[in-house]
Structure 1
Amino acid sequence: MLRCVFSVASVLCLFAVSTNQATEDGLFPGNVAFHFTAPLYNVSIPENSVAKTYATQSPGAPRMGVPVTLNTFTDIRYKILGGNRDLFFKAEHRLVGDFCFLFIRIKTGNNDVLNRERKDKYILQVRATANIKEGNPKVQYSSETTVVVTVLDMNDLSPLFYPTEYNATVAEDTPIHQSILKVIAEDADLGRNGEIYYSFAEETDKFAIHPVTGVITLTRPLIYNEGTYHELKVHAQDRGIQSQSGFGFSVAQVHIRVKKVNLYAPEIRIRRHPSIVENSNADIYAIVNVSDRDSGIHGEIDKLEIVDGDPDGHFRIRPTRQKGEYNIEVLKLLDREKTPQGYQLQLRAVDKGTSPIVLCSSKVSPIKLTDWELLISNFDIFTLGLTLCIFPLGIPPRESYKSVPVQLADLNDNAPIFNKEIYDVKVPESAPVNTPLIRLKVSDPDDGRNAQVFLEIVGGNEGGEFHINPETGMLYTAVPLDAETKQFYSLTVSAIDQGNVGTRKQSSAKVISLRPRLLLVVGNIDGFQVKVYVEDTNDNDPIFDKSELTVWIDENMPAGTSVTTVHAKDRDRGENAYISYLIANLNKVPFEVDHFSGLIKTTQLLDYESMRREYVLRIRASDWGQPYRRQTEMEVTVKVRDINDNRPQFEKIDCVGNLPRHTPIGSEIITLSAIDFDSGNIISYRIVSGSEDNCFSIDSTSGTITVSCDLNDVRVSERELNVTATDNTHFADIAKVRFKLVNTKKNVFSSGRLLTDDTGTFDCKDTGVARRLTEVLAEAENNNGPLEVEDLPMMPTRYGQNVHSPEFIDFPIEIKVNESVLIGTILVRLKARDRDLGFNGELVYGISGGDSRSQFDVDMKTGDLKVIGYLDREKEYEYFLNVTVYDLGRPQKSSSRVLPITVLDVNDNAPKFEKSLASFRVTENALNGTAIFRANATDLDEGDNAKVTYSLATDTQDFAVDKTTGILTGNNIFSS
Structure 2
Amino acid sequence: MDVKMGQWAGMQAPLLSLALLLPLLLFKPPLCCSQSTQGGPQDGPHFGFTQAVYHATVYENSAARTYANSKVKMGIHLALRSWEIRYRITSGDDEGLFKAEEFVLGDFCFLRIRTKGGNAAILNREIQDNYVLTVKASVKGDAFLETWTKVSIQVLDMNDLRPLFSPTTYSVTIAESTPLRTSIAQVTATDADIGSNGEFYYFFKEKMELFAVHPTSGVVSLSGKLNVDEQSRYDLEILAVDRGMKLYGNNGVSSTAKLFVHVERVNEHAPMMNVVTHSPSWLDKNPVYAMVTVDDLDEGINGEIDSVDIAKDRGTPQKYSVAKLVHIIVKKQQIEEAKFEKEMYEIEARDKADKGNQRFSVSTLKIILEDVNDCPPLFIPSVYKAKALEDLPLGTVVAWLETLDPDLGLGGQVRYSLANDYNGWFEVDGASGAIRLTKELDYETQQFYNLTVKAKDKGRPVSLLSVTFVEVEVVDVNENLYAPYFSHFALTGLVKENARIGTTLLQVTANDDDTGRDGEIQYSIRDGSGLGRFAIDEET
Q: Could you state the TM-score of these two structures normalised by the residue count of structure 1?
A: 0.37
1:826-837 residue pairs with structure 2 within 5 A?
A: none
Partner amino acid, structure 2, of 1:450:
G
* Structure 1 counterpart of 2:70: 56
Partner amino acid, structure 2, of 1:254:
L
**1:186 shift after superposition:** 1.7
**1:75 shift after superposition:** 1.7
Among 291, 298, 301, the alignment partner of 1:297 is 301
**1:187 shift after superposition:** 0.5
Deviations 1:61-95 (A, max 9, x none): xx854455x33762223233562745555434456
Query: Residues 379 and 401 of structure 2 are in contact (CA less than 8 Å); yes or no, is this contact kept in structure 1?
Result: yes
Among 60, 66, 89, the alignment partner of 1:80 is 89
Query: Residues 96 and 120 of structure 2 are in contact (CA less than 8 Å); yes or no, is this contact kept in structure 1?
Result: no
Among 85, 108, 111, the alignment partner of 1:102 is 111
Q: Name the SS of the counterpart of 2:83 in structure 1.
A: strand
**1:256 shift after superposition:** 1.2
Deviations 1:557-606 (A, max 9, x none): xxxxxxxxxxxxxxxxxxxxxxxxxxxxxxxxxxxxxxxxxx999xxxxx
**Residues 32/493 of structure 1: CA separation in 2 closer, same or farther (3 Å cut):** farther
Tell me how far apart the structure 1 counterparts of residues 45 and 423 of structure 2 sit (CA, whole Å): 138
Partner amino acid, structure 2, of 1:352:
K
CA RMSD for the aligned pairs? 5.9
Tell me how far apart the structure 2 counterparts of residues 544 and 317 of structure 1 sit (CA, whole Å): 87
Q: Does residue 407 of structure 1 match 2:368?
A: yes
Q: Which has the higher contact order (CA 8 A, sep 6+)?
A: 2
Query: Residues 78 and 126 of structure 1 are in contact (CA less than 8 Å); yes or no, is this contact kept in structure 2?
Result: yes
Tell me how far apart the structure 2 counterparts of residues 438 and 102 of structure 1 sit (CA, whole Å): 119
Q: Does residue 170 of structure 1 match 2:155?
A: no
Q: Does residue 509 of structure 1 match 2:468?
A: yes
**1:54 shift after superposition:** 3.1
Q: Name the SS of the counterpart of 1:80 in structure 2.
A: strand
Tell me how far apart the structure 1 counterparts of residues 197 and 251 of structure 2 sit (CA, whole Å): 14
Among 185, 208, 212, the alignment partner of 2:189 is 185
Q: Name the SS of the counterpart of 1:74 in structure 2.
A: coil
Deviations 1:22-62 (A, max 9, x none): 24xxx4476555344666554333335576543336x9xxx
Query: Residues 457 and 468 of structure 1 are in contact (CA less than 8 Å); yes or no, is this contact kept in structure 2?
Result: no
Deviations 1:131-172 (A, max 9, x none): 58xxxxx76623334433221224454423355553333344
Partner amino acid, structure 1, of 2:261:
I
Any gaps of 5 or more consecutive residues in structure 2? 1-33, 490-524, 528-540
Q: Does residue 258 of structure 1 match 2:259?
A: no
Tell me how far apart the structure 2 counterparts of residues 279 and 79 of structure 1 sit (CA, whole Å): 115
Tell me how far apart the structure 1 counterparts of residues 392 and 225 of structure 2 sit (CA, whole Å): 76
**Residues 139/335 of structure 1: CA separation in 2 closer, same or farther (3 Å cut):** closer
Tell me how far apart the structure 2 counterparts of residues 492 and 297 of structure 1 sit (CA, whole Å): 72
* Structure 1 counterpart of 2:410: 449
* Structure 2 counterpart of 1:143: 147
Partner amino acid, structure 1, of 2:352:
K
Tell me how far apart the structure 1 counterparts of residues 44 and 394 of structure 2 sit (CA, whole Å): 124
Query: Residues 135 and 151 of structure 2 are in contact (CA less than 8 Å); yes or no, is this contact kept in structure 1?
Result: yes
Deviations 1:431-485 (A, max 9, x none): 9999999874423343222222244567659888887582xx4748899x99999
Query: Residues 87 and 100 of structure 2 are in contact (CA less than 8 Å); yes or no, is this contact kept in structure 1?
Result: no
Query: Residues 35 and 47 of structure 2 are in contact (CA less than 8 Å); yes or no, is this contact kept in structure 1?
Result: no
1:420-435 residue pairs with structure 2 within 5 A?
A: 420-423=381-384
* Structure 1 counterpart of 2:59: 46
Query: Residues 210 and 216 of structure 1 are in contact (CA less than 8 Å); yes or no, is this contact kept in structure 2?
Result: no
Tell me how far apart the structure 2 counterparts of residues 425 and 96 of structure 1 sit (CA, whole Å): 131
Among 117, 120, 129, the alignment partner of 2:129 is 120
**Residues 40/182 of structure 1: CA separation in 2 closer, same or farther (3 Å cut):** same
Query: Residues 52 and 108 of structure 1 are in contact (CA less than 8 Å); yes or no, is this contact kept in structure 2?
Result: no
**1:128 shift after superposition:** 1.0
Tell me how far apart the structure 1 counterparts of residues 54 and 394 of structure 2 sit (CA, whole Å): 106
Q: Name the SS of the counterpart of 1:449 in structure 2.
A: helix
**Residues 293/434 of structure 1: CA separation in 2 closer, same or farther (3 Å cut):** farther
Tell me how far apart the structure 2 counterparts of residues 303 and 182 of structure 1 sit (CA, whole Å): 38
Q: Name the SS of the counterpart of 2:262 in structure 1.
A: strand
Partner amino acid, structure 1, of 2:379:
F
**Residues 312/52 of structure 1: CA separation in 2 closer, same or farther (3 Å cut):** closer
* Structure 2 counterpart of 1:34: 47
Tell me how far apart the structure 2 counterparts of residues 497 and 186 of structure 1 sit (CA, whole Å): 84
Tell me how far apart the structure 1 counterparts of residues 134 and 410 of structure 2 sit (CA, whole Å): 109
Q: Does residue 352 of structure 1 match 2:357?
A: no
Partner amino acid, structure 2, of 1:43:
A
1:480-559 residue pairs with structure 2 within 5 A?
A: 492-500=452-460, 503-514=462-473
Deviations 1:458-515 (A, max 9, x none): 7659888887582xx4748899x99999986655544332345x63333343344447
Query: Residues 261 and 395 of structure 1 are in contact (CA less than 8 Å); yes or no, is this contact kept in structure 2?
Result: no
**1:179 shift after superposition:** 7.3
Tell me how far apart the structure 1 counterparts of residues 422 and 130 of structure 2 sit (CA, whole Å): 111
**Residues 314/140 of structure 1: CA separation in 2 closer, same or farther (3 Å cut):** closer
**Residues 449/90 of structure 1: CA separation in 2 closer, same or farther (3 Å cut):** same
Query: Residues 309 and 344 of structure 1 are in contact (CA less than 8 Å); yes or no, is this contact kept in structure 2?
Result: no
Q: Name the SS of the counterpart of 2:70 in structure 1.
A: coil
Query: Residues 164 and 253 of structure 1 are in contact (CA less than 8 Å); yes or no, is this contact kept in structure 2?
Result: yes
* Structure 1 counterpart of 2:277: 272
Q: Name the SS of the counterpart of 2:284 in structure 1.
A: coil
**Residues 284/241 of structure 1: CA separation in 2 closer, same or farther (3 Å cut):** closer
**Residues 440/280 of structure 1: CA separation in 2 closer, same or farther (3 Å cut):** farther
Partner amino acid, structure 2, of 1:278:
W
* Structure 2 counterpart of 1:533: none
**Residues 415/157 of structure 1: CA separation in 2 closer, same or farther (3 Å cut):** same
Query: Residues 168 and 180 of structure 1 are in contact (CA less than 8 Å); yes or no, is this contact kept in structure 2?
Result: yes
Q: Name the SS of the counterpart of 1:142 in structure 2.
A: strand
Tell me how far apart the structure 1 counterparts of residues 404 and 480 of structure 2 sit (CA, whole Å): 48
Q: Does residue 22 of structure 1 match 2:38?
A: yes
Query: Residues 336 and 409 of structure 1 are in contact (CA less than 8 Å); yes or no, is this contact kept in structure 2?
Result: no
Query: Residues 343 and 367 of structure 2 are in contact (CA less than 8 Å); yes or no, is this contact kept in structure 1?
Result: yes
Query: Residues 22 and 29 of structure 1 are in contact (CA less than 8 Å); yes or no, is this contact kept in structure 2?
Result: no
Tell me how far apart the structure 1 counterparts of residues 328 and 135 of structure 2 sit (CA, whole Å): 101
> How many equivalent pairs are there?
451
Tell me how far apart the structure 2 counterparts of residues 327 and 178 of structure 1 sit (CA, whole Å): 43
Tell me how far apart the structure 2 counterparts of residues 452 and 107 of structure 1 sit (CA, whole Å): 111
Deviations 1:531-578 (A, max 9, x none): xxxxx9xx999999689xxx9xxxxxxxxxxxxxxxxxxxxxxxxxxx
**1:296 shift after superposition:** 1.0
Deviations 1:85-142 (A, max 9, x none): 4555543445676x6553434568999864312442334342212258xxxxx76623
**Residues 143/509 of structure 1: CA separation in 2 closer, same or farther (3 Å cut):** same
Q: Name the SS of the counterpart of 2:192 in structure 1.
A: coil
Query: Residues 80 and 91 of structure 1 are in contact (CA less than 8 Å); yes or no, is this contact kept in structure 2?
Result: no
Tell me how far apart the structure 2 counterparts of residues 117 and 297 of structure 1 sit (CA, whole Å): 58
1:856-875 residue pairs with structure 2 within 5 A?
A: none
Q: Could you state the TM-score of these two structures normalised by the residue count of structure 2?
A: 0.60
Query: Residues 437 and 474 of structure 1 are in contact (CA less than 8 Å); yes or no, is this contact kept in structure 2?
Result: no
Q: Name the SS of the counterpart of 1:297 in structure 2.
A: helix
Q: Name the SS of the counterpart of 1:409 in structure 2.
A: coil
Tell me how far apart the structure 2 counterparts of residues 73 and 540 of structure 1 sit (CA, whole Å): 144
Q: Name the SS of the counterpart of 2:154 in structure 1.
A: strand
* Structure 2 counterpart of 1:572: none
Any gaps of 5 or more consecutive residues in structure 1? 1-15, 133-137, 355-393, 517-535, 552-598, 602-976
Query: Residues 283 and 331 of structure 1 are in contact (CA less than 8 Å); yes or no, is this contact kept in structure 2?
Result: no
Query: Residues 390 and 443 of structure 2 are in contact (CA less than 8 Å); yes or no, is this contact kept in structure 1?
Result: no
**1:189 shift after superposition:** 1.4
**1:418 shift after superposition:** 2.3
**Residues 106/411 of structure 1: CA separation in 2 closer, same or farther (3 Å cut):** closer
Q: Name the SS of the counterpart of 2:302 in structure 1.
A: helix
Partner amino acid, structure 1, of 2:405:
D
Tell me how far apart the structure 1 counterparts of residues 180 and 455 of structure 2 sit (CA, whole Å): 65
